[in-house]
Structure 1
Amino acid sequence: MIDDPLWPRVDQWLADPGAEPEVALIGVPTAVASLSPSRADLTPGAIRSRLGRFSPFHGELSFDLTTVPLVDRGNLAVEAIPAEKIPEDIAQLVRDLPGSELTLFVGGDNAITRPVVRSLGDLDGVGVITFDAHHDVRTLEPVPSNGSPIRGLISEDGLPGSQVAQVGIHSFSNSRPYRGWCDDHGIGVFTMETVESGGLDATVAAALEYIGDVESIHVDVDMDVLDSTFAPACPGA
């Protein structure tokens, strides 16, 4: 690639965090808890390798990402953690990280959602908004998986269900019993049909209103929220 000093790249932004980073990027290369066989553990490296193709300048908003100090803290050492220990062990690794105003965790599979949220401690003041095709409330047996983080957070970790909003839930991608579990526990469900009819901005505003006045918000973006036309490599899309 041509080195043009007047065309900086996103990977250069990652490599030059500045003295006081406001944003931290952390890879969590997990795949052992995936319900579908995958190499989701390769994702953090794959994303970093592609960032050199992008400019940090958003032309429509006239905003340059390089004005926001960011640090890339590399990957957490999670390769040897078995699926049943992910909620506890990864949560502790996250607690041990230096603090930042905003932290971006790149999986890995969606099993990382539970330990990242769990690391916040008392979950009474925490809200969770998911962008996901699925409810992720499968049973926790035989071990927690990438299909059960929301159930684990609510049933075992103390997160109030009324502080969870799920955006983009797909039809024909969830079962009646699991949708019933969400309804019984007060989870706000905003389907893909809701997004398409009302618009994304209005749906996100409704999701924020649903979870109420919380102290912090964890946003979970699962790639399978996209139609399989746009994310064909996601087994759940």
Structure 2
Amino acid sequence: MKSFLYPKLILPSFTWVRPDDGAEAQKVHEWIQPLTAENDPEKSKAADFVVVGVPLSRSSISVSGASEFPEAFRRAWKGFTTYNLDEDIDLSEMTALDAGDVPMHVTDIRRCHDNIIAASAALHQHFGTSTVCAIGGDHSITAMMIKGLHQAKPEEKIGILQFDTHFDLRDMSDNGPSNGTPMRNLIESGVVEGRNMYNIGLHGFFNTKDLKKYADEKGVNYITLREARKKGIEETVFDCLEELASKVDTIYLTVDMDVLDIAYAPGVPASTPGGMTSAELLEGVLAAGRHSKVKAMDIVCLDPLKDTNAQPTVKLGTHVFLTFLTGVMLR
């Protein structure tokens, strides 16, 4: 396909054969349309949601097959309907496009990151009113997706709502642009101020004291999982978004699946005990999706190769995505 988006993007390695009988979509794989020559570029500008795969995990500190999630995510669509019984709404009433994947270099991580920035900028420029949903990949992709958003809309101040077990503020000189440094990367590059970052879900023995010190120095806002549970996940998210909305133009939601307890998400490279339950994460994501300033999101650090045969983590990651879209539709 020839268009301005390509070769910044490539067609996904896996696509569903969609029914051509004109029947109303009932399953997610029947609803999300691949971006093709027929609907690109002008006809697609009004899409409500745009999905892009970002299959990179070479930049992960721990061994990770998170690069396999975009394909596993697409394959999981067939197991979900577009109708959300809890909210009594049907996502198929909105338009969703699959823009394909960001191309990755075999060995050059910097080149991969540059490709993500370029693809993100192109998507946000073209789909100016659409919600862009990036499917990672490890957490290093978040910094690059946000840098692309910043390139596309330099006049907008960006804030971040982060669900995570970790600060992801490791020293760039020691770790480079890895999945342990995306938030520090954004702070040090001047793209996002520390005071406009809100991290929910930190817990246990999985962060060092020097990272907390750096967070405090930069004004990063963080709410431990214990604090969020006492207050209520939904209320915590709403309060964070209210504060953020008063300071920024655009809010980017990043969901690191390692925020979940290992019992709920075995397919995560850095899985830990004591994390969120599935219900807590879905509640938080739904609340985030309902806020009008949340205009982009990603799901990262989900490794299908570590998942069990039933693929519970892949299914949960897909559920997180659909729950976020439910929140957007509820606006």
TM-score normalised by L of structure 2: 0.66
Closer, same or farther: CA 123–230 of 1 in aligned 2, 3 Å: farther
The alpha carbon displacement at 1:15 in A equals 2.7
| d(CA) in 1 for partners of 2:192, 2:112 | 18
State the SS of the aligned residue for 1:120. Answer: helix
2:52 corresponds to 1:26: yes
Closer, same or farther: CA 6–111 of 1 in aligned 2, 3 Å: same
Q: Choose the corresponding residue for 2:121, options 88, 92, 95.
A: 95
One-letter amino acid of the structure 2 residue matched with residue 27 of structure 1? G
Q: Choose the corresponding residue for 2:238, options 201, 205, 228.
A: 205
Q: List per-residue Cα deviations over 1:126-151 (Å, max 9, x = no partner).
A: 11110111000011135210010000
Mapping for residues 63-212 of structure 1, pairs under 5 Å: 63-80=89-106, 82-97=108-123, 98-100=126-128, 101-121=130-150, 122=154, 125-142=157-174, 143-211=176-244, 212=246
Closer, same or farther: CA 82–205 of 1 in aligned 2, 3 Å: same
| d(CA) in 2 for partners of 1:81, 1:123 | 34
The alpha carbon displacement at 1:82 in A equals 2.3
Closer, same or farther: CA 185–69 of 1 in aligned 2, 3 Å: same
For these two proteins, the number of residue pairs brought into alignment is 234
The alpha carbon displacement at 1:123 in A equals 7.8
> Hey, what does 1:12 align to over in structure 2?
30
| d(CA) in 1 for partners of 2:260, 2:270 | 10
| d(CA) in 1 for partners of 2:189, 2:155 | 11
One-letter amino acid of the structure 2 residue matched with residue 214 of structure 1? V
- Aligned-pair identity (%): 27
| d(CA) in 2 for partners of 1:213, 1:202 | 19
State the SS of the aligned residue for 1:135. Answer: coil
Structure 2: state its 5+ residue gaps. Answer: 1-18, 272-331
| d(CA) in 2 for partners of 1:6, 1:72 | 18
Structure 1: state its 5+ residue gaps. Answer: none
| d(CA) in 2 for partners of 1:157, 1:85 | 21
Q: Is the 8 A contact 1:86 1:112 kept in 2?
A: no
Q: Indicate the RMSD between aligned Cα atoms, in angstroms.
A: 2.1
Q: Is the 8 A contact 1:138 1:178 kept in 2?
A: yes
Closer, same or farther: CA 11–181 of 1 in aligned 2, 3 Å: same
Q: Is the 8 A contact 2:56 2:67 kept in 1?
A: yes
Which range moves more in the overlay, 163-172 or 97-106? 97-106
Q: Is the 8 A contact 1:127 1:163 kept in 2?
A: yes
Closer, same or farther: CA 119–16 of 1 in aligned 2, 3 Å: closer
The alpha carbon displacement at 1:86 in A equals 4.5
TM-score normalised by L of structure 1: 0.91
| d(CA) in 2 for partners of 1:86, 1:210 | 34
| d(CA) in 2 for partners of 1:16, 1:215 | 30
| d(CA) in 1 for partners of 2:194, 2:117 | 20
